[in-house]
Amino acid sequence: MIKNILNNKKYLFLIILCLSLTSIYLLYRIQTKTINETESTEMQNIPIQTIPTVHHEIDLNVQIPIFMYHYIEIVKDKNDTIRQTLAISPSIFELQIQTLLKNGYTFIMAKDIGKALNGTLKLPQKPFLLTFDDGHWDLDTDVLPILKKYNIKATAYIISGFIGRSDFLSQKQLDDVVKSGLIEIGVHTVHHVSLKGKLQPIVQMEVAQSKKTLEDLTHIPIVSFAYPNGSFDDLTLSEVNQAGFQTAVSTIPGITVTQNNKFFLYRVRPGNRTGEALITYLKNIKDKKTN
Ligand SMILES: [Zn+2]
């Protein structure tokens, strides 16, 4: 009978076809199993810290006025013209705060913008950021009392290498500011160096070392950066990103915050405007075209 079947070409063809299909099926099963096991093994072998954090980058496009201040004080030396230009008296500063509160603004910190950009915080209706550059002593003696009076937040960008120098915050004053919980400490490099055009090791040191020093001093993660003199280039942006900052402020005038400009957020100077003049000024801020 077998001989008959083998002699019949039709049967032979069917047998070969069945054997081929069975082989293909078995091969498919083996291969699929191997792929699955390989994947699960690789996942188990990845150290937990190398699994990238899932950031939900939000398609944010929001208007956040960011005011840039340097000195809030009454300048005693009338011949110090640079300081006269950069300083705002505490009473004018307080009037500005009153104006902004009356107009429904809510004060946030720079790190809140970082959180909003990665989807972990919802910003208030009319967010507003007050920033103070350099870390002068008046941050503790003049700014902090006014922020405390109105219970409002701000961000100060500190030059890490200048702490304790005359004209700058002492370590004790810095502790005072940190303890208040109202002022976020950001970084403004180690030596207040204009970073545009500098060699990579210099940029990296100024950006990363200042972060580390301030983290060691404050025991708080530092995530916000400000460019000295608003000076940066592509290398600077990359180093700021790599060092782990979430945002950086520039001196480019404007008001809009998006994912695209998170490392060169726009800022404006309020001058001595208060009341209606300040509100009109805010309404007329336009983003400077950067490219
Ligand atoms: Zn500065």
Report percent pLDDT > 90 for the chain. Answer: 73
192 CA from centroid of ligand 1 (Å): 6
Confidence of residue 34 (pLDDT cuts 50, 70, 90): very low
Mean per-residue pLDDT over the chain, rounded: 86
Q: What is the mean pLDDT of residues 34-55?
A: 37
- Euclidean distance between CA atoms 234 and 230, whole angstroms: 13
Spell out where 78-152 has E strands.
87-88, 106-108, 127-134
CA–CA distance, 108 with 114 (Å, rounded to integer):
11
256-284 pLDDT, tens digit per residue, is: 999 999 999 999 999 999 999 999 999 99
Ligand 1 geometric centre to CA of 285 (Å) = 22
User: Ligand 1 centre and the CA of 280: distance in Å?
Assistant: 27
What pLDDT does residue 76 have?
A: 86
Distance 133 CA to ligand 1 centre (A): 5
Confidence of residue 234 (pLDDT cuts 50, 70, 90): very high
- Across the chain, how many H-helices and E-strands are there? 12, 11
State residue 171's pLDDT score. Answer: 96
pTM: 0.80
Q: What is the residue type of 115?
A: K
Amino acid making up residue 228: P
CA of 188 to the centre of ligand 1 (A): 7
Q: In terms of Cα–Cα distance, which of 267, 283, 277 is closest to 99?
A: 277
If pLDDT is split at 50, 70 and 90, which confidence band does 56 have?
confident
Q: How far is the CA of 233 from the centre of ligand 1 (A)?
A: 17
CB 153 within 8 A of CB 132: no
Give distance in angstroms: CA of 102 to centre of ligand 1. 30
Distance between Cα 18 and ligand 1 center (Å): 80
pLDDT at 58: 78
Q: Report how far residue 234's alpha carbon sits from residue 41's, in angstroms, rounded to the nearest whole number.
A: 39
Residue 55 has pLDDT above 80, yes or no: no
pLDDT given at position 19: 65
> What's the gap in Å between 190 CA and the centre of ligand 1?
11
Instruction: Give distance in angstroms: CA of 70 to centre of ligand 1.
Output: 8
Do the Cβ atoms of 99 and 278 come closer than 8 Å? yes
pLDDT tens readout for residues 93-126: 999 999 999 999 999 999 999 999 999 999 999 9
Exposed / middle / buried, residue 101 (Cβ in 10 Å: 0-12, 13-18, 19+): middle
Q: How far away, in angstroms, is 213 Cα from ligand 1 center?
A: 17
Residue 107, Cα to own-chain centre: how many angstroms? 17
* The two three-digit tokens of residue 111, written as one number: 């790190």
Cα 4 to middle of ligand 1, angstroms = 98
Query: Is 13's pLDDT higher than 50?
Result: yes
Q: How confident is the model at residue 83 (pLDDT cuts 50, 70, 90)?
A: confident
pLDDT (tens digit per residue) in 155-190? 999 999 999 999 999 999 999 999 999 999 999 999
